[in-house]
Amino acid sequence: MKTRIGILALVGLVLSSGLAFGQHVYDARIKEKEMISPAAPEAPRINGPRVYGARPERVFLYRIPCQGVRPMEFSVSGLPEGLTLDATQGIISGKTPAAKGDYELSITARNRMGADSCRFTLVIGDKLALTPPMGWNSWGGYMVDVSDKLVRHAADLMVQRGFADVGYQYIGIDDCWMRVSQQMYDDRPKATVDKHATYDYISTGTIGEPRDSEGRPVPNAKFPDMKAMNDYVHSYGLKTGIYSSPGPRTCQKWMASYGHERTDADQYAAWGFDLLKYDLCTGGAVLNRMKKRIPGFTVQDFWRPMTNYIMDQDRDILFNLCQYGLEEPWTWAPGMNIQTWRIGGDLNHNVDHYFDNALRIAVDLRDYNKPGQWNDPDFMYIHRIKVAARMGDPSEEIALTTNQRYQYVTLWSIICAPFFFSCDLMNIDDFTVSLLTNAEVIALNQDKLGHTAEVIRNTDAETVMVKHLADGSNAVAIFNRNSEADADIFVSWNELGGCCEMSVRDLWRGKDLGIHKDGIIVRLSPDGVALLKVRP
């Protein structure tokens, strides 16, 4: 009897592995620093979302993400009154219409190699970020060294290296753009002094009154003209983000917004910013005091002043709440016009948490992830970044293997995470550019259905996730969780709710794999990943 049971178990294992079907094993292994993404096409290919949200009668700016040889000529039919197109750069700007509704546009891009067209829905209403926002943030690569010069150079690189052509929009300034009063400087904790050991507060013009006579925030000398800087970034059709805290000081103990929320929101809009990262930092102590002193005071009451004042501006400003997942922001942030919220602590060099964060969004928090509201697992720290405990030192390579980097980007794409990366952009290598600019991988993140990938198999050895797409197809991500050995992993179409024959495409390689019956077996490197698109 034991022998018979053992044979039946072996037969079941063979069937589940797909070996009984006699299938060919698709080799999806990736070598060290191997760039598997195809080169950008020469003919136009319009990328980015097919749906975009904006509020009525607001300043509007949108760069059409499009790969292809320049010069290029753009045309848009159905553009509502108040918006105009720069046909050479492909930038739509102006003021959104007063009437709410869906405005159906047709976009075409042409160059000497050909043309591409797409349908695009501009949704004028109450929701922003109908697909996850995309961009770069200064923190990982520069920390205390952020500057006007850096932001302008970042805008240049976003265009020159092809990031803007696949949909990256935002260039975000993080902490340390402000001034520090002499009292703040004298009161710095020793830990902060040590972290900023090589930072010269004097020559950078950082020490000084942090607010002017009207109470408005004053940047340090590295930002001589915020509006001019933003105008420069906006000339590319790109957008900018700024940083503050609801406490009296930021996480680095510089000036923050407590008691000045209205003034600061007005100033951010006057400067032309398009996103606010609002970080808890010293606000935690303020929140706790208010809860003790004011009967019925809630966490929503604490964040509401800045969210309301941001909403009052004449331009759309995305709100990125950074409360590290405390007090379950996913349950209340969507009702406060907050588009993204952090679900946990900083990733930075804590690279062992990237998979856990993604699975948490896919499983526990998936019901809160949808168009206009996104769980934020933190930036993709994917290249050279600084160490927060030694932020005066040069950036260091992140401790991830090549295959883990492909896993990282794959996960952020399929769980609909805000697609922001943070690294030393000025020294970015070709491999990282290739990793972050794969248009077909990004298209999953920007798919208008906004479906967060579901986990259909998760063991110590392997994880399989499926993401439903607006065109009726599915994206399947297959992960080898073994860090030491290759693995052959079978996925049956039955697991995806389908059967029989499926057309398969390798999205990372931009390669059609033909028709596969019953399922597919992929061979993966240690910590490897395959990202496939399947359809009947």
Burial class (CB in 10 A: 0-12, 13-18, 19+), 154: buried
What are 506's two structure tokens? 């390798």
Give the residue from 249, 235, 219 showing the smallest Cα distance to 146.
Answer: 219
3-state secondary structure of 484: coil
Q: Does residue 518 have an active-site annotation?
A: no
**Rounded Cα gap, residues 275 and 202, in angstroms:** 29
Please state, in angstroms and rounded to a whole number, the distance separating the CA atoms of residues 392 and 389.
Answer: 9
* Catalytic choice (346, 429, 488, 518): 346
Block residue for tokens 């401790």: 399
Catalytic residue among 116, 165, 279, 506: 279
Q: Residue holding tokens 């994917």?
A: 382
Longest dimension (CA), the chain: 89
Distance CA 444, CA 356 (A): 20
Length of the chain: 536
Spatial separation of the C-alpha atoms in residues 117 and 360, rounded to whole Å: 37
Encode burial over 64-99: b for 16+ CB neighbours within 10 A, e otherwise.
Answer: bbbbbeeebebebeebbeebebeeebbbbbebbbee
The answer to whether 74 and 62 are in contact (CB under 8 A) is no
> How many angstroms separate the CA atoms of 69 and 64, rounded?
15
Helices 148-160 and 226-234, axial angle in degrees (round to 10): 0
Q: Please work out, in degrees rounded to the nearest 5, the angle formed at the alpha carbon of residue 15 by the alpha carbons of 14 and 20.
A: 80
Helices (H) and strands (E) in the chain, counts: 13, 28
Q: How far apart are the first and last CA of the chain?
A: 42
Helix (H, G, I), strand (E, B) or coil at 307: helix
**Catalytic residue check, 346:** yes
Phi–psi pair at 3, nearest 5 degrees: -65, -40
Residues classed as catalytic: 279, 346
